[in-house]
Amino acid sequence: MQKAVYIIILIFCGAAAIAQQGFSFQRLSTVNGLSYIGINDMCTDQKGNLWIATGNGLNMFNGKTVDKYYASGYPQLQNSDVIHVTCDRRNRIWVLTAGGNVTMLDEKRQLRRAGLYIKNEFVKTRWILNSQNNGIILLTEKGCYQYQDKVNPAKNDSITLQLFTFLSIPGFDTLLTKRFSQVFYFDDDNYLLVNENEFYKINFRTRQIEKKHPVPQATTLAKWGKDELLFYDREAGEVKTYDFSTGHTGFPFKGLKDQQGKEIKAVFRYAEKINEHQYLLTTLNEGIYIYDAATGKIVNYRHDVADPSSLANYSATTIAVGKDGWVFITCSANGISYFNTRAYIGEKQVFSDGKGNAYDGYIEGLATVDNNTFYAGTGSGLLEWKRNGNTTSFIDITGNDGKSLLNKQQVKSIIIDSNGRIWATTIDNGIVVIDRNRKLVKQLEYDETDKGSLKIKRVSSLQWGPDGYVWATGSRGISRIHPVTFAVDNLENSPLAALDSFFTIPLLFTDKENIWAGTDGQGVFHFNLASKKIKRFTTDNGLASDRLFAVHADNNGHIYIGGRGGLNILFKDGRIKTFTQNEGLLINRAEGLLLDRHNRMWIGNDIGLACYNPADSTLRTFDERYGLSIYGFRVGSYYQTANGEFVLGTPRGLQYFHPDSLFDKKVRLNVAITKIETENILSTITGTETFRLAAADNQVTFYFGSVDYSQHLRTYYKYKLEGIDNNWILVNDQNSVRYNSLPPGKYVFKVQISNDNKNWQESDNQVKIIIAAPFYKSWWFKLLSLLLVLGVIAYVINYFRKKQVERRGRLEAELVINYFASEINSRYKTDEMLGDVAKNLIGKMRFEECMIYLWNDDKTVLIQKAGYGSKGSMQEILDKTAYHIPAGKGIVGAAAESKQSLLVNDTSKDMRYFSADGKIMLSELCVPLVHDNEVLGAINIEHQQKNFFTAKHQQMLTTIGVLCANQVQRIRAEEEKQKATIELLENKQKAAESRLQSLRLQMNPHFLFNSLNSVQQMILANEEMVATKYLSRFSKLLRTILIHSDKEVISLKEEIEIIKLYVELESIRFKDAFRFIFYCDEAIDTEEVQIPTLLLQPFVENAIWHGLMHKEGERVLQVHFAESDDTITCIIEDNGVGRKKAATRNVISNVKQHTGKGIEVSKERLKALKTKDGRQGNIEITDKQNEAGLPLGTRVEINFPV
pLDDT tens profile 1060-1082: 888 888 888 888 888 888 889 88
Residue 993 is predicted with a pLDDT of: 54
CA distance 904 to 214: 107
**Using alpha carbons only, what angle is made at residue 621 by residues 618 and 626, rounded to the nearest 5 degrees?**
135
**Using alpha carbons only, what angle is made at residue 647 by residues 643 and 650, rounded to the nearest 5 degrees?**
175
DSSP state, residue 356: S
Share of the chain above pLDDT 70, in %: 92
Alpha helix stretches (DSSP H) within 204-243? none
**Residue 295: how many CA atoms within 13 Å on its side-chain side?**
21
Residue 1113 is predicted with a pLDDT of: 85
pLDDT at residue 472 above 90? yes
- Give the β-pairing of 297-301 and 288-292: antiparallel
CA distance 251 to 242: 9
Share of the chain above pLDDT 90, in %: 50
Give yes or no for a contact between 137 and 129, defined as CB atoms under 8 angstroms apart.
Answer: yes
**Domain pair 34-167 / 807-978, same fold:** no
CA distances from 502 to 429, 498, 505, 568, 639 (A): 21, 9, 10, 21, 25
pLDDT at residue 14 above 60? no
CA distance 878 to 873: 11
Residue 155 is predicted with a pLDDT of: 64
Give yes or no for a contact between 652 and 673, defined as CB atoms under 8 angstroms apart.
Answer: no
DSSP for 795-809 reads: HHHHHHHHHHHHHHH
**Residue of 1162, 1085, 1102 whose CA lies nearest to 1138:** 1102
The arithmetic mean of pLDDT across residues 325-343, rounded, is: 92
Domain map (residue ranges) of the chain: 1-32+261-344, 34-167, 175-254, 447-537, 540-630, 672-777, 807-978, 989-1201
Give me the torsion for CA of 41, 138, 93, 768, rounded to 10°: 180
Residue 99 is predicted with a pLDDT of: 93
CA distance 657 to 310: 19
Residue 1150 is predicted with a pLDDT of: 45
The partner residues of 366 in beta bridges, in order of sequence, read 376
In this prediction, residue 872 has a pLDDT band, given cuts at 50, 70 and 90, of low
Give yes or no for a contact between 1139 and 1146, defined as CB atoms under 8 angstroms apart.
Answer: no
- Give the β-pairing of 208-213 and 218-224: unpaired
End-to-end CA distance of the chain: 104
In this prediction, residue 666 has a pLDDT band, given cuts at 50, 70 and 90, of confident
To the question of domain 540-630 being in CATH 2.40.10, the answer is yes
pLDDT at residue 866 above 70? yes
| pTM tops 0.75 | no
Name 177's Cβ contacts closer than 8 Å, sequence gap at least 6.
none
- Give the β-pairing of 1116-1124 and 1075-1080: parallel
The arithmetic mean of pLDDT across residues 297-312, rounded, is: 90
Report the CATH fold assignment for 807-978: Beta-Lactamase (3.30.450)
Mean of the per-residue pLDDT values for the chain? 87
In this prediction, residue 260 has a pLDDT band, given cuts at 50, 70 and 90, of confident
Alpha helix stretches (DSSP H) within 292-348? none
Give 343 or 379, the one with higher predicted confidence.
379
Residue 177 is predicted with a pLDDT of: 86
Give 1015 or 857, the one with higher predicted confidence.
857
140 backbone dihedrals φ, ψ, rounded to 5°: -115, 175
- CA 46 and chain centroid, separation: 35
pLDDT at residue 1151 above 60? no
Give yes or no for a contact between 52 and 63, defined as CB atoms under 8 angstroms apart.
Answer: no
Residue 503 is predicted with a pLDDT of: 95
- CA 744 and chain centroid, separation: 34
pLDDT at residue 1154 above 50? no
CA distance 393 to 359: 11
pLDDT at residue 938 above 50? yes
117 backbone dihedrals φ, ψ, rounded to 5°: -125, 130
Residue 440 is predicted with a pLDDT of: 94
Residue 1157 is predicted with a pLDDT of: 61
CATH H-level superfamily of 1-32+261-344: YVTN repeat-like/Quinoprotein amine dehydrogenase (2.130.10.10)
Give yes or no for a contact between 1085 and 1122, defined as CB atoms under 8 angstroms apart.
Answer: no
Residue 920 is predicted with a pLDDT of: 86
The arithmetic mean of pLDDT across residues 282-305, rounded, is: 93
Residue 210 is predicted with a pLDDT of: 86
Question: pLDDT per residue over 363-403, tens digit each?
Answer: 999 999 999 999 999 999 999 999 888 899 999 999 888 89
CA distance 381 to 376: 9
Give yes or no for a contact between 548 and 525, defined as CB atoms under 8 angstroms apart.
Answer: no
pLDDT at residue 854 above 60? yes
CA distance 1161 to 990: 8
pLDDT at residue 772 above 80? yes
CA distance 596 to 604: 13
Give me the torsion for CA of 14, 15, 18, 19, rounded to 10°: -140
- Give the β-pairing of 689-693 and 767-771: parallel
pLDDT at residue 94 above 50? yes
CA distance 274 to 320: 9
Give 267 or 754, the one with higher predicted confidence.
267
CA distance 897 to 649: 93
CA distance 255 to 1116: 114
Give me the torsion for CA of 1088, 1092, 1097, 1100, rounded to 10°: -70
Give yes or no for a contact between 838 and 866, defined as CB atoms under 8 angstroms apart.
Answer: yes
Give 282 or 1018, the one with higher predicted confidence.
282
Question: pLDDT per residue over 33-60, tens digit each?
Answer: 999 999 999 999 999 999 999 999 999 9
80 backbone dihedrals φ, ψ, rounded to 5°: -85, -10
Residue 461 is predicted with a pLDDT of: 95
CATH class of 175-254: mainly beta
Residue 999 is predicted with a pLDDT of: 47
Give 546 or 782, the one with higher predicted confidence.
546
Residue 1171 is predicted with a pLDDT of: 67
Give yes or no for a contact between 737 and 701, defined as CB atoms under 8 angstroms apart.
Answer: yes
- CA 686 and chain centroid, separation: 31
The arithmetic mean of pLDDT across residues 812-835, rounded, is: 81
Give 1013 or 400, the one with higher predicted confidence.
400
237 backbone dihedrals φ, ψ, rounded to 5°: 70, 35
Residue 713 is predicted with a pLDDT of: 56
Give yes or no for a contact between 117 and 133, defined as CB atoms under 8 angstroms apart.
Answer: no
Residue 1101 is predicted with a pLDDT of: 85
- Give the β-pairing of 601-604 and 592-595: antiparallel
The arithmetic mean of pLDDT across residues 744-772, rounded, is: 89
CA distance 311 to 304: 7
**Using alpha carbons only, what angle is made at residue 555 by residues 658 and 519, rounded to the nearest 5 degrees?**
90
Q: What is the CATH architecture of 989-1201?
A: 2-Layer Sandwich (3.30)
**Using alpha carbons only, what angle is made at residue 1018 by residues 1016 and 1020, rounded to the nearest 5 degrees?**
70
The arithmetic mean of pLDDT across residues 164-188, rounded, is: 90
DSSP state, residue 1105: I
pLDDT at residue 25 above 50? yes
Give yes or no for a contact between 584 and 619, defined as CB atoms under 8 angstroms apart.
Answer: yes
In this prediction, residue 919 has a pLDDT band, given cuts at 50, 70 and 90, of confident
The partner residues of 926 in beta bridges, in order of sequence, read 902, 940
In this prediction, residue 1003 has a pLDDT band, given cuts at 50, 70 and 90, of very low
What Rg value do the Cα atoms of the chain yield, rounded? 52
DSSP state, residue 1103: I
Poorest-pLDDT segment among 643-657, 781-795, 1073-1087, 1163-1177 = 1163-1177
To the question of domain 34-167 being in CATH 3.30.413.10, the answer is no
pLDDT at residue 870 above 80? no
In this prediction, residue 748 has a pLDDT band, given cuts at 50, 70 and 90, of very high
Question: pLDDT per residue over 399-420, tens digit each?
Answer: 888 899 999 999 999 999 999 9
Q: What is the CATH architecture of 672-777?
A: Sandwich (2.60)
Give yes or no for a contact between 387 and 21, defined as CB atoms under 8 angstroms apart.
Answer: yes
pLDDT at residue 519 above 90? yes
**Residue 363: how many CA atoms within 13 Å on its side-chain side?**
32
Question: pLDDT per residue over 965-982, tens digit each?
Answer: 888 888 888 877 766 555
Give yes or no for a contact between 926 and 948, defined as CB atoms under 8 angstroms apart.
Answer: no
Residue 917 is predicted with a pLDDT of: 75
DSSP state, residue 16: H
836-844: Cβ within 8 A, 24+ apart: 837/866, 837/939, 837/960, 837/964, 838/866, 838/867, 838/868, 838/874, 839/868, 839/873, 841/868, 841/939, 841/941, 841/957, 841/960, 842/868, 842/869, 844/816, 844/819, 844/820
CA distance 267 to 257: 16
CA distance 986 to 977: 8
The arithmetic mean of pLDDT across residues 794-799, rounded, is: 90
The arithmetic mean of pLDDT across residues 824-850, rounded, is: 83
Give me the torsion for CA of 1098, 1100, 1106, 1112, rounded to 10°: -170
